[in-house]
Structure 1
Amino acid sequence: MASETKSEINVIPPEELGFPLTKEFLELAFDREVESFSTNAGTNPGDNYMSVMHSIELTFKGEKEANHYLIKCYPNNQGRRAFLDQTNMFSKEYFMYQEFLPQLKQLAAENGVEDVVNLAVAPVHGGNIVGKQSKFTKKPWSDENFILMTDLRKSLGLTMADRVMGLDLNHAKIVIEEIAKLHALSWAYKQKNGITLLSNKYPQFTDDSMQNKDDLGKQFKQLMDHISNSSVKMVNEKLGSSHPACKSFKDFVSTDSTQHMNMFTQKNGIDENEIESHLRIKPEQDKDYNNEPWLVGTHGDCWVNNMLFLYNDEGPKKPVSVTLVDWQLNREACPTIDLAYFLFSSVRTSLRIPNLDKLLGIYHDAFVRYCDALQVKPLPGFSFETLKRRYRRAQHYGLLVSLPILSIVLKPPKDSIDMDTVKSEEVSELFGSVMKGNDENALLKHEISATVLDMYETGVI
């Protein structure tokens, strides 16, 4: 009787989830009889911002061991829902799990290198995007969006790293190699299928988020302007307003940040001449330089909160693998965009700046190794020196995108904001609430100032 009672409990209120999470719902999802289940919050405040995660502990009939899953849903807040609708972020992630990532894993298997180019992907068991057919099941679902997946934390013991502390070299190496694996697989997919642009076949790889001219785009620009002004104030206080790096930084962020970021995510790749014209110290002319665009399928949101690590069982704690999660910002872009996004957001300046060549070298060697395994030539003109040149300009993107992200990453856990408690439906106010207290965050001030100083000294700004 106790198990039957538990199986009927709907712990998550329907008005919060958008639909009743019942025994019947779960049996439709898994096509198995459910003995009992219970639910709880899937993430801590400060760990997830765009969607809502709920955890499910479930026991199938005839089994004693419980299984652990996560269901990712739309939030209740109408502003966040509108943002997801207009950016197609939720459907982009569903596409990656449903269609594209399985093709990459199949590609590795077809080439007999699934143990070498073994991209880690969270198992997904069901999902729904309103108005779109589901590959996972032909049975009817609710009129709400959701993705149902294995909870890798409780099922396999994967954990998030300390976002405030930042990743050490061991963590960074594993992440960079995983990013290189994704890039090499998507590049091989294009080569073996005769595809010039992924976005021509899959519109989900098009990134037009920075080209949004409606009210949502205006709100995002207002938010970036606010963050930029706050960052300039912090850098002035840290370095002294008379420092030339302060003027360079102020001039850099005084332009339209959204348009500047958009230059790195154009459908046909980066216009090298335009990008490099914004560098304070231009690269030397190289008649042998191949300026063909580098375009691969990228994760697009490579920061520490979207990474789950598996650690060794014996000896000093050390990461042995990583699984990238949250594929809502995937795009076709230069691989250096993922690298800059990751290194600026998740590796502290004290490690990133002195070890940059080592970190880029890890990516270079891994990308070449994976391309060799997949039997495709690397990107046109791919070399370590070219990678460094292209990454140097991508630091513009890394700096701009890190300004809002570091406000989240470096916020003390006790001050983390639960987005579900924010009542405003204005995107600028929703995310602006996360930025409160930035002026008093000494670590945030140090990281932004150290980054700006390094970029000035290397002539990037």
Structure 2
Amino acid sequence: MELAEDVKTSLQKLPSRRVQELVVEVLQELKWVGVEEIEVTPGSSLGDGLMALIYRVRATGRLARAEKARASFVVKHTPRNKARRDVFDVPMLFANEHSFYENVVPALSRHCGPLAVAKFFHSITDGEHDALILEDLKEQSFRLADRRKGLDLRHCRVVLAALARLHAASFVLKEKNAAAFEQLRPRVKDMFWDADREFAFKPFTTSCFEETLRTLKAYFGGDDHENKYIEAFLRLSERGYDFIAASVRSTASRLQVVTHGDCWTNNLLFKYADEQPDSPSDVRFLDYQLTRITTPAADVTYFLFTSPNSILEQHHMDPEKIFSRRCLDEEMARMAPYGLTSAGIVVPAVCVPPEFTPDMDKVLGQTRDDFVQEYAKQMKADTPEARLQLASLLKHCVDRGFFKDL
């Protein structure tokens, strides 16, 4: 396929020659015979992605009959920083997400129709230049919400409905073809909570427990042992990683579904009707690197503990009203410690002011410990918003008896 010289120059803004070649391969598969112009720009703001670099690629060219053609893609690439790659084993994360698009989406969509995911074109999973090429949903008017404002009830309803469709697809597949669902189990891996991942994620979780406790103490003040909320969190942090991992892994088989695994504001794109610019009509989920098979309540608690605004938490987080099925109520209560632990990891990133957003690719050092220490240093949840959100969540759990058995 013909490439103008300035096109070749523009492609060099992508991080590796293999990724540049892959973009051209995608255009060839779309029946392009020539590329006249390519624009490569950053696809996300600083702080919006922890485990990947995002690029937006816009191309104009021509088809076989001299017809004009336009296309826009998102290229998701492994971080350059070695400590950042090592702490999360990023090659395994990219392999997990590749498998989700390549194997899981077709299986789940076969009986339930399209899911709330972007179209997948190609990927590289060589452990060095890992990358995914996906459709650019911005071209369809999807956009990120402001993570610092939190999501209101209208946004949360759209997200929960899309999560319900994703989870329901697993139940339908089990009913229609149980063997096909079982074949998905080895296709996705829990990168944080599986037993063989403890060495990688336990130090990170321990550090986040320490930072969350510091934030909660700043909010509540006084004597730790006279505050029932701090006492409850201390019991949770003492049980630590092993307790949360067991909660995620111990879901009854009949309740297990394919989950998103990382459903928070920065992994959600919303579409709005022209006549209702503040009311979302649709949503797409991004970033399936942490997809896993577990209880649906893991996704729901993760989302509700990290993404709604404080008004929603105070007035709409009544499980009896939101979830009518007894088993889901029970699962929500069981997974509350997981939700609060996840909030301790995510809320600092949600609430950090834009001017203080850290660049994780500039972390000094080359080891897991380097990254964990730097993340804790740069993501201290010392904003009033973070203190309020974490304290409100802890009070929610304790007041409803979710921590009584800790």
TM-score normalised to structure 1 length: 0.78
Indicate conservation of the 8 Å contact 1:126/1:149, yes or no.
Answer: yes
Indicate conservation of the 8 Å contact 2:247/2:338, yes or no.
Answer: yes
Secondary structure class of the residue paired with 2:385: helix
Q: Residue in 2 aligned with 1:18?
A: 16
Please give the alpha-carbon distance, in whole angstroms, between the structure 1 residues aligned to 2:301 and 2:200.
25
Please give the alpha-carbon distance, in whole angstroms, between the structure 2 residues aligned to 1:21 and 1:245.
50
Q: 1:130 to 1:388 in 2, by over 3 A?
A: same
Q: Residue in 2 aligned with 1:239?
A: 220
Q: Residue in 2 aligned with 1:60?
A: 61
Please give the alpha-carbon distance, in whole angstroms, between the structure 2 residues aligned to 1:160 and 1:86.
24
* Offset of residue 189 of structure 1: 1.1
- Does 2:394 correspond to 1:419? no
Secondary structure class of the residue paired with 2:167: helix
Q: 1:208 to 1:52 in 2, by over 3 A?
A: closer
- Does 2:243 correspond to 1:260? yes
Please give the alpha-carbon distance, in whole angstroms, between the structure 1 residues aligned to 2:43 and 2:90.
25
- Does 2:109 correspond to 1:145? no
Q: 1:20 to 1:46 in 2, by over 3 A?
A: same
Q: Deviations over 1:334-388 (max 9, x none)?
A: 110110000001113431243123x7755x5xxxxxxxxxxxxxxxxxx523322
Moved more, 217-226 or 170-179: 217-226
Please give the alpha-carbon distance, in whole angstroms, between the structure 1 residues aligned to 2:72 and 2:372.
31
Larger strand fraction of residues: 2
* Offset of residue 158 of structure 1: 0.6
Q: Residue in 2 aligned with 1:121?
A: 117
- Does 2:202 correspond to 1:228? no
Indicate conservation of the 8 Å contact 2:40/2:55, yes or no.
Answer: yes
Q: Residue in 1 aligned with 2:148?
A: 164
Task: For 1:363-378, list aligned pairs within 5 A.
Answer: 364=323
Q: 1:236 to 1:144 in 2, by over 3 A?
A: closer
Q: Deviations over 1:156-181 (max 9, x none)?
A: 11101111111000000000000000
- Does 2:8 correspond to 1:8? yes
Counterpart amino acid of residue 307 in structure 2: S
Q: Residue in 1 aligned with 2:41?
A: 40
- Does 2:306 correspond to 1:345? yes
Secondary structure class of the residue paired with 2:55: strand
Please give the alpha-carbon distance, in whole angstroms, between the structure 1 residues aligned to 2:77 and 2:191.
23
Secondary structure class of the residue paired with 2:17: coil
Moved more, 90-99 or 4-13: 4-13
Counterpart amino acid of residue 279 in structure 2: K
Q: Residue in 2 aligned with 1:446?
A: 388
Counterpart amino acid of residue 38 in structure 1: E
Q: Deviations over 1:70-89 (max 9, x none)?
A: 11111222233334547721
* Offset of residue 324 of structure 1: 0.6
* Offset of residue 450 of structure 1: 1.5
Q: Residue in 2 aligned with 1:27?
A: 24
CA RMSD of aligned residues (A): 2.6
Please give the alpha-carbon distance, in whole angstroms, between the structure 1 residues aligned to 2:91 and 2:238.
25
Please give the alpha-carbon distance, in whole angstroms, between the structure 2 residues aligned to 1:244 and 1:79.
38
Counterpart amino acid of residue 80 in structure 1: R
Indicate conservation of the 8 Å contact 1:30/1:125, yes or no.
Answer: no
Indicate conservation of the 8 Å contact 1:265/1:333, yes or no.
Answer: yes
Moved more, 73-82 or 50-59: 73-82
Q: 1:360 to 1:4 in 2, by over 3 A?
A: farther
Secondary structure class of the residue paired with 1:45: coil
Q: Residue in 1 aligned with 2:162?
A: 178
Please give the alpha-carbon distance, in whole angstroms, between the structure 1 residues aligned to 2:398 and 2:95.
39
Counterpart amino acid of residue 386 in structure 2: L
Please give the alpha-carbon distance, in whole angstroms, between the structure 2 residues aligned to 1:303 and 1:196.
29
Identity among equivalent pairs (%): 25
Q: Residue in 2 aligned with 1:94?
A: 98
Secondary structure class of the residue paired with 2:9: coil
Please give the alpha-carbon distance, in whole angstroms, between the structure 2 residues aligned to 1:261 and 1:82.
22
Counterpart amino acid of residue 120 in structure 2: V
Please give the alpha-carbon distance, in whole angstroms, between the structure 2 residues aligned to 1:261 and 1:196.
29
Q: Residue in 2 aligned with 1:73?
A: 77
Task: For 1:186-205, list aligned pairs within 5 A.
Answer: 186-195=170-179, 198=182, 201-205=184-188
Counterpart amino acid of residue 82 in structure 1: D
Please give the alpha-carbon distance, in whole angstroms, between the structure 2 residues aligned to 1:95 and 1:162.
30
Please give the alpha-carbon distance, in whole angstroms, between the structure 1 residues aligned to 2:307 and 2:340.
12
Counterpart amino acid of residue 449 in structure 1: A
Q: 1:360 to 1:341 in 2, by over 3 A?
A: farther
Q: Residue in 2 aligned with 1:308?
A: 269
* Structure 1 residues not aligned, in runs of 5+: 109-113, 132-142, 272-291, 365-382
Please give the alpha-carbon distance, in whole angstroms, between the structure 1 residues aligned to 2:165 and 2:340.
24
- Does 2:88 correspond to 1:105? no
Q: 1:445 to 1:340 in 2, by over 3 A?
A: same
Secondary structure class of the residue paired with 1:55: strand
Q: 1:409 to 1:432 in 2, by over 3 A?
A: farther
Aligned length: 390
* Offset of residue 43 of structure 1: 1.1
Please give the alpha-carbon distance, in whole angstroms, between the structure 2 residues aligned to 1:120 and 1:235.
35
Indicate conservation of the 8 Å contact 2:267/2:287, yes or no.
Answer: yes
- Does 2:282 correspond to 1:321? yes
